[in-house]
Amino acid sequence: MASFLNSLRTTFGLGKHHPRLGGLEILKYIGPGLLVTVGFIDPGNWASNLAAGADYGYALLWMVTLSTVMLIVLQHNVAHLGIATGLCLSEAATVYLKPAVSRTVLGSAVLASISTSLAEILGGAIALQMLFGIPVRIGALMVLIFVIVMLFTNSYRLIEKWIIAFVSIIGLSFIYELSLTTIDWPAAAWAWVTPTIPEGSMVIIMSVLGAVVMPHNLFLHSEIIQSRQWNLSDDAVIKKQLRYEYADTILSMLIGWAINSAMILLAAATFFVSKTPVEELQQADSLLRPLLGSNATVIFAVALLFAGIASTITSGMAAGSIFAGIFKEPYDIKDSHSRLGVIISLVVAFLIILVITNPFRGLIYSQMILSIQLPFTVFLQVYLTSSERVMGKYKNSTFTKYLLYAIGGVVTLLNVMLLVSMF
């Protein structure tokens, strides 16, 4: 057994401790917010939006609007933390909270990252089944191995820009297709700003929320920001970066809002109107058929595969960042704590996939689980960013603090409504 453990340590570098600042330098040419935007085009989002549009037409568009507004506020605020303190959300929690509190909250965040990884690996596996007829469980294993190799060798940097570009093109294709589809725009406009909760829709509502406001993305965004260590610069630089980051976040989130909305609108126009039940993610290829014709299935499957791989990579990074933060360390894939966080998230997600009988429902419920964890992350974030001890003069204004508390309250209320709906 001892020799086996030593072999594992050698293979995964679990005995090496040399965390370094700036270990997550993954965005040199695009803004950090665009990484989150790519998360809007992941398998979990596709499944949630497909189900929302197919089952309820335009009725749940308001949830996309509300979720996006929440996300803009939360992403900017967590970036604010990274810029002002040089700490990511996980590190700050460990430094400034009692161990029992920080480890409980961060432990729940690790569980959320597992749920995210499950959706991303599962999406990649579904894509391999569509392309090559590979069984889902075997495809999931292939995605798992590929992503771990990419992360542990840093070779993902060789393909990440191609993945981001291709997946983004598919996302924008959904928006363009709105011009080729009959949409009741007055009804859609009303649905975007009018909350309605159709009977039996709470699971889908929460899955849409979890697919947009993903807890692991809050941790990942703060990690990306802190790796740049702007807090070591003077006040003028910090204020400039805060303004830049705010503009980057708004632009990226609006693009994400448009892509999510387009998916729901197309699903409503295609499946809801024809009263066609959606039982598998593969049916989403029909949304692209007006634009891509007979090639839609292959192109959609390739996009799904790329989206699954890209999102699994970012989910693994987020888990590594969260786990490293428990030990007051920044993310560094060469360090054992970061590696262990990555392994826990991806391997546990794969093991859960092995017992899932309905992949599409698995995607839906994985996103719902994210919304259940979300209040813990939101209240952690607002506590830290409102503290003068943590943020100094860059702490939240009174308005921002109570706005964040209101967001946490809304998310908590939705979770209570979900719980009630199950009984």
**Residue at 319: amino acid letter:** A
Mean pLDDT, range 296-320, rounded to an integer: 85
pLDDT 10s digits, 2-34: 443 454 444 444 455 544 444 444 344 344 455
pTM: 0.84
pLDDT 10s digits, 363-417: 888 989 998 899 999 999 999 999 999 988 889 999 999 999 999 999 999 999 9
Q: How many domains does the chain have?
A: 1
pLDDT of residue 246: 66
Stronger pLDDT, 255 or 197, i.e. the higher one: 197
Mean pLDDT rounded to a whole number for the chain: 82
The reply to whether 329 falls in a domain is: yes
pLDDT 10s digits, 335-357: 899 999 999 999 999 999 999 98
The reply to whether 341 falls in a domain is: yes
The reply to whether 2 falls in a domain is: no
Domain that holds residue 99: 24-421
The reply to whether 414 falls in a domain is: yes
Task: Tell me the Ramachandran region of residue 392: left when phi exceeds 0, alpha when psi lies from -120 to 50, beta otherwise.
Answer: left
The reply to whether 1 falls in a domain is: no
**104-113, 199-208, 240-249, 328-337: which has the minimum mean pLDDT?**
240-249
For residue 314, give the CATH number of its domain: 1.20.1740.10
pLDDT of residue 163: 66
The reply to whether 357 falls in a domain is: yes
Residue 205 has phi, psi (to 5 degrees) of: -55, -45
Are 366 and 115 a contacting pair, CB within 8 Å? Answer: yes
User: Token pair for residue 68?
Assistant: 């996006």
pLDDT 10s digits, 148-193: 998 888 766 666 666 667 667 777 777 787 887 888 999 999 999 9
Confidence of residue 70 (pLDDT cuts 50, 70, 90): very high
pLDDT of residue 400: 92
Q: Which DSSP category does 231 fall into? A: G
The reply to whether 6 falls in a domain is: no
The reply to whether 196 falls in a domain is: yes
Stronger pLDDT, 244 or 313, i.e. the higher one: 313
Rounded distance between C-alpha atoms, residue 294 and residue 269, angstroms: 19
Rounded distance between C-alpha atoms, residue 155 and residue 149, angstroms: 8
